[in-house]
Amino acid sequence: MMLLEGRNLRKTYRLSRRISLEVLRGVDVDIKAGEMVAIMGPSGSGKSTLMHILGLLHAPDANDGPAPELKFEGANVTRLSDGKRTKLRAHKMGFVFQSFNLVPTLSALENVTLAAEYGGMKSSAARRAALETLSWVGLDHRAKHRPMELSGGEQQRAALARALVNAPTLLLADEPTGNLDSSRSAEVLALLRRLNSERGQTTLLVTHDPAVAASTDRVIRMTDGLVDAEPQLALAA
């Protein structure tokens, strides 16, 4: 089943009256349920912008060109209201960012519990789910620590727990290991891999690391706001 289908996705930023920057120039993407897909490409090629559109954080531009279309679980989500978009995100999507983005004044447990409450759980169930998810990422013994009392790798595992606590249909991770040293990176990636192979977690991951990309099912390469054409198979005559 196709989980996510994007067509004609474009984004232009207007920098001044005369200068605009075409960051996405008409991208088509399909993600199947259960797939683990890497997006690779040079810095500035539009990877994060694409990720934000696919994750319903931003809307694609609707003017100048063929109409954009985004389908999630078969339903058209191109023009949802802000409220519906937020709700869909809270229930169905999990995000992990390079910079962790944990709430600094809350413990790891409170950060994850809050996300579970946003996802619709009552506080006691949310807390239980948070503890269980923290334990899955190997962080139960650090549950009461605030982000500044955790290492980078631990913060990212807490952020991963936060992304996973609502059992998202789609996990989006934008350079999740970009701020980690190589052994911490390996831990986080092993968790993502396991999540995909054991639980069938559909995962879209931006990475610079060819080794990471190689361990995914498929790589989408981007250059300058476009997805690179797939290499064509040479047909034997």
Give residues in contact with Mg ion (CB under 5 A).
47-48
Q: Which is nearer to ligand ADP, 24 or 164 (CB)?
A: 24
**Tokens matching residue 44:** 């500035």
As a whole number of angstroms, the distance between CA 39 and CA 43 comes to 12
Q: What single DSSP character describes residue 201?
A: -
Q: Does 207 bind ligand ADP (CB under 6 A)?
A: no
CB of 160 to ligand ADP, least distance (A): 20
Q: Which is nearer to Mg ion, 139 or 159 (CB)?
A: 159
Which of ligand ADP, Mg ion, none binds 45 (CB below 5-8 Å, type-dependent)? ligand ADP
Residue nearest Mg ion by beta-carbon distance: 48
**Tokens matching residue 181:** 């040293």
CB of 182 to ligand ADP, least distance (A): 21
| Short-list 94, 64, 52, CA closest to 199 | 94
Q: Which is nearer to ligand ADP, 23 or 109 (CB)?
A: 23
| Short-list 29, 47, 36, CA closest to 213 | 36
Q: Which is nearer to ligand ADP, 47 or 146 (CB)?
A: 47
Q: Which residues contact 153 (CB under 8 A, 6 or more apart)?
A: 180, 181, 184, 187, 188
Which residues in 49-88 contact ligand ADP (CB under 6 A)?
Answer: 49
Q: Which is nearer to ligand ADP, 23 or 170 (CB)?
A: 23
Q: Which is nearer to ligand ADP, 47 or 184 (CB)?
A: 47
Q: Is 5 exposed, middle or buried (0-12, 13-18, 19+ CB in 10 A)?
A: middle
Return the percent helix, strand and coil in the chain, to nearest 5. Answer: 35, 25, 40
Q: What single DSSP character describes residue 140?
A: G
Contact string 14-53 vs ligand ADP (x = CB under 6 A): -------x-x-----------------x-xxxxxxx----
Which of ligand ADP, Mg ion, none binds 201 (CB below 5-8 Å, type-dependent)? none
As a whole number of angstroms, the distance between CA 31 and CA 178 comes to 23
Q: Which residues contact 122 (CB under 8 A, 6 or more apart)?
A: none
CB of 221 to ligand ADP, least distance (A): 11
CB of 3 to ligand ADP, least distance (A): 22
Q: Which residues bind ligand ADP (CB under 6 A)?
A: 13, 21, 23, 41, 43-49
